[in-house]
Amino acid sequence: MMNKEQYMASLQKLHPIIYCNGKRIENVVEDPMTRPHVNSAAMTYELACDPAYENLMTATSSLTGKKINRFTHLHQSAEDLVKKVKMLRMIAQKTGTCFQRCVGLDAMNATYIVTHKIDRECGTNYHERFTNFMKYVQENDFMVAGSMTDPKGDRSKKPGDQVDPDLYVHIVEKKKDGIIVRGAKAHQTGMVNSHMMLILPTTNLGKNDKDYAVACAIPVDAEGVTHIFGRQTNDTRRLEGDIDTGNSEYAIVGGETLTVMDNVFVPWEHVFMCGEYQYAQEYVEKFASYHRQNYGGCKVGVADVIIGATATMAEYNGCPKASHIKDKIIEMIHMQETMYNCSLGCSYEGTKTEAGTYYVNTLLANTVKLNCTRYMYEISRLAHDIAGGFIATLPYEKDLKNRITGPLIKKYFAANPNVTTENRIRMARLLENMTGGTALAESMHGAGSPQAMRIMLYRETNIEGKKKMAKQLAKIKED
């Protein structure tokens, strides 16, 4: 396993092409726009080397028998699924944001299941290839970016019917030693500070979409790969100071990118699906359910911090004992623990797959994420209600530190006499950071938009069975 310093050093050895705000980023560890995201992911390496967190952060590899970081682990029991959720909540409590390794973990576990099935039914050897890849990842403790979401183009058309074929990643050539792929993946969490990306399909496919049925592993700095770093709410405040950023050490969400692949070569040993379109939908569902399981862990950990910041703001404002404040905080706690309960439930209800690994309860996993699309917004609304409107209109940090305006700000934004104005502002900026646009949009659309969960809930619910129960109790007999 790598520690924090070794992880950062490993990134220095890579040379991905990354553009941000009109210029190329040469060093993701040092650049102020990407450094907070590196810090957040580095926490997953730091905690894995801390004996106090060993039980959650590490596991024994089912492939090599060695001790590994849990973010490279193939789940071997329902207990593994539960530990994953508890681990995510714990890390989020320490970073207050996304730590980026979940997508890759979920993509790897989904790939292990699907390649096993393809091999069994089609006589391929994808599973052996992927098992070897997993040994490689575990041995090096690589951070793998799970790459699922394509730009999609015209949503009314399938991948093979798009005017521009590159709007979904597809195979353009099969060669003796590998394949050539072209296209792009959007909203790529943690891509710029990962070592590898694991490409997988993003939707169900038909016969005309065979070239889009591709799964493969590609280094982030492979020839032909370009990453365009996305904007986040208040991101350029990182260039201006410490206070206005809110969470200067760990940023906002996951440092997402648009990752473009222009005729990228992939050797056969890193190809895990090549034309088997009939397995794409199951691939998507397996990945999505694993990923939706996460939100009752990581987002609940974030909510822990939001609730703590909100309660602190009430104290700083001088009204921590008001009954309506307590009632609103209780409501926030109720919503976050409901998400956590669902996440634990889908884990405890996990079952063993034919590949030998464990998979979450699909129905409950989708319930987790659908709750999150609502509850994180309501938790944030209540935080704004309690904190007060000044979190939206605070002056610049430079004005706070200015010799003329600073004393005025400290005088007129003072509240609880036992708390400095600067500390009150710092806590307000943290809340602004954690409950603003980018963070909430990710809660809504990360791991799939609400309608995707609704479809899965209906598909996984035995409606006919429920109707039968009702008819039996009503003593209805049908011919």
Whether residue 13 contacts residue 220, with contact meaning beta carbons closer than 8 Å, is answered with no
The neighbouring-strand residues paired with 257 are: 229
Q: What are phi and psi of 351, to 5 degrees?
A: -130, 160
- How far is it, in rounded angstroms, from Cα 118 to Cα 129? 12
Known binding residue 338? Answer is: no
Degrees, nearest 5: CA angle 152-153-159: 60
Q: Are 281 and 69 in contact (CB under 8 A)?
A: no
Rounded to an integer, what distance in angstroms lies between the CA atom of residue 323 and that of residue 346? 35
Active-site residue, from 20, 216, 298, 342: 298
What phi-psi label fits residue 370: left (phi over 0), alpha (psi between -120 and 50 degrees) or beta? Answer: alpha
| Catalytic residue status for 298 | yes
Query: What CA dihedral angle connects 67, 69, 75 and 78, to 10 degrees?
Result: 90
The one-letter code for the residue type at 257 is T
Q: Is 389 exposed, middle or buried (0-12, 13-18, 19+ CB in 10 A)?
A: exposed
Catalytic annotation on 203?
no
**Nearest alpha-carbon partner for 429 in 237, 141, 292:** 237
The residue annotated as part of the active site, out of 20, 102, 216, 346, is: 102
∠ CA 389-433-85 to the nearest 5 degrees? Answer: 125
Answer yes or no: 291 catalytic: yes
- Catalytic-labelled residue, pool 46, 256, 285, 397: 256
Q: Report d(CA 30, CA 137) in Å as an integer.
A: 25
Residue 98 designated active-site: yes
Kindly report the backbone phi and psi dihedral angles of residue 219, in degrees, each rounded to the nearest multiple of 5, phi listed first.
-60, 145
Of all helices (H) and strands (E), which one includes residue 339?
A: helix 323-348
- How far the first Cα of the chain sits from its last, in Å, is 65
Catalytic residue among 20, 98, 346, 372: 98
189: annotated active-site residue:
yes
Q: How far, CA to CA in Å, does 149 sit from each of 68, 71, 191?
A: 28, 21, 13
Q: 59-88 burial, b if ≥16 CB within 10 A, otherwise e?
A: bebbbeeeebbbbbbbbbebebbbbbbbbb
- Annotated active-site residue 102? The verdict is yes
Sequence-ordered list of residues with C-beta below 8 angstroms from that of 289, at least 6 positions apart, any chain: 346, 359, 360, 362, 365, 366, 456
DSSP string, 105-163: HHHHHHHHHHHHHHHHHH---HHHHHHHHHHHHHHHT--EEEE-----SSTTS-GGG-S
Spatial separation of the C-alpha atoms in residues 468 and 466, rounded to whole Å:
5
315-346: b (≥16 Cβ within 10 Å) or e: bbbeebeeeebeebbeebeebbebbbebbbbb
- Known binding-site residue numbers: 189
Catalytic residues: 98, 102, 189, 256, 291, 295, 298, 442
- Known binding-site residue numbers for FAD: 189
